[in-house]
Amino acid sequence: MNLTTPINCQVKGTVQCPGDKSISQRVLMIGAFMNQDMKVDGFLHGEDPISTMNALNQIGAAITVNDNGSVQIPKRDFIFCNCDEPLDLGNSGTGLRLMLGFTSGLGLNLSFCGDESLSSRPMDRVLNPLTEMGADINSSNGKLPIKISSSKLTKKYSYELPVASAQVKSSILLAGLASGSVVEIIEPVQTRDHTERMLKNFGANIEIAKKDGKNIIRLGSSNHLSAKNYTVVGDISSAAFLIVAALISNSPGLEITNVGMNPSRTGVLRALEKMGANIEIKNQRLESGEPCADLEVKQSRLKGVELSGEIIPNIIDEIPIISIAAAFADGKTIICDASELRVKESDRLKAVSDGFETLGVKHQNFEDGMTIMGNPHTLQPEEPIFIESHGDHRIAMSFLIAGLRCSQSITVKDCKNIFTSFPNFIELISSIGYKLEK
């Protein structure tokens, strides 16, 4: 499916942020583990969370979706079971990495598969610590297909992350939770902490401390979790596309409601505000242990900045759309320390660079980032533009947003991947004045 942008548009109005993908997948696993009746509202019905739901149901979770879209996780007569058929996680790297830890802790016999993109992505950063914990795992040189065999994990495990990664951290925590092991994780910098917050919300014995500038998370062996209905807050990664759309289209104003404001995820706001974005945070509150708020984005003149160091793990998923903002900022933006982008759904540094080459945006791509020479003027190509998505939802959406500042239409090829994380992107963006054509 290709999508084509209109020209001479701006976005305005009020829109609700879609549910957070990371939280949606985590609450399914922890909810199923508790084996108590609970309801989940605000769940993101994207392909990635649905893949995780289907995988959990293959091992006996019996999760269902009500007519109104809420998710029901029931109490069952048994906990979980082995499955002869591979658990297919589709395109979901988060789902796969977290399920590997969770099911290793359960001591099940299972195998995992995924689509072509997921099958090409390295999983060693999760497989190595899980193997150290005692999991019996076989893989294809660190990639899918992956098979786990029933094993007992060590009763006490400590691991220092060589690279900051919320997915690796969460995989180990879920392995510890499922196996009843004491787990200590040391991370060099704060990464997104949805798993820790969710475990605490349900009553887990979890402690977080700081030592020598590092973050230390400790999960005890005795965890008596108590289920309660849960509401998923909006995904700030999805909100980032809407925010940048308002900023580069010189919008008279866009309000985005129910945006998750977890401090480990709000780096994108800090980065954009550093660039000069006028973003007002309103109605701050807590929802199921997660902070959220409404955002009002106002017309702003952006400037180039340098983004590197500790903020990068916090904005790693948003760098493609931040790069679009930088392309229309005044001056040079430098992004460093982002080599992890080369092993995402695509090599995102190369994918952004390829798109910029097509659009005529001056830039330089290097091993762990890029330099972008911004220009606040509208792009003036001589004919319509065609850009490859590289099978990556964030690349596809980023360059569709770029169409707001292009005098010709931009057609992004192969946009079906958008439905993995932002299933109502087309309808939502249309509702605020930017009608994409299929």
Cα gap 169→189, rounded to integer Å:
12
Q: Are strands 71-73 and 38-41 parallel, antiparallel or unpaired?
A: antiparallel
Torsion sign, CA atoms 259, 260, 265, 267: positive
> CB–CB of 38/66 below 8 Å?
no
Written as one string, the DSSP assignment of 345-403 is SS-HHHHHHHHHHHHT--EEEETTEEEEEE--SPB--SS-EEEE-TT-HHHHHHHHHHG
What distance in Å separates the CA atoms of residue 438 and residue 435, rounded to the nearest whole number? 10
Please say if 317 is a catalytic residue.
yes
**Residue 437 neighbours by CB under 8 Å, 6+ apart:** 3, 4, 6
Cβ–Cβ < 8 Å for 429, 245: yes
Q: Which token pair is 294?
A: 């409404």
**Residues across the chain:** 438
Paired tokens of 129 = 């610590």
Tokens of 1: 């499916």
In terms of phi and psi (left: phi > 0; alpha: psi -120 to 50; beta: otherwise), the region of 399 is alpha
β-pairing, 214-219 vs 206-211, is antiparallel
The structure tokens 């946009």 sit at: 415
Judge contact between 235 and 44, C-beta under 8 A. yes
For 128, the enclosing helix (H) or strand (E) is helix 124-133
Strand, helix or coil for residue 59: coil
The owner of tokens 């006996």 is: 60
One of 115, 193, 235, 317 is an active-site residue; which one? Answer: 317
Rounded (to 5) percent helix, strand, coil in the chain: 35, 25, 40
* Phi/psi of residue 98, nearest 5 degrees: -70, -40
One-letter amino acid of 308 = S
Distance CA 367, CA 169 (A): 25
Residue in this structure with the two tokens 């193997």, named with its chain if needed: 131
Residues with a known catalytic role: 317
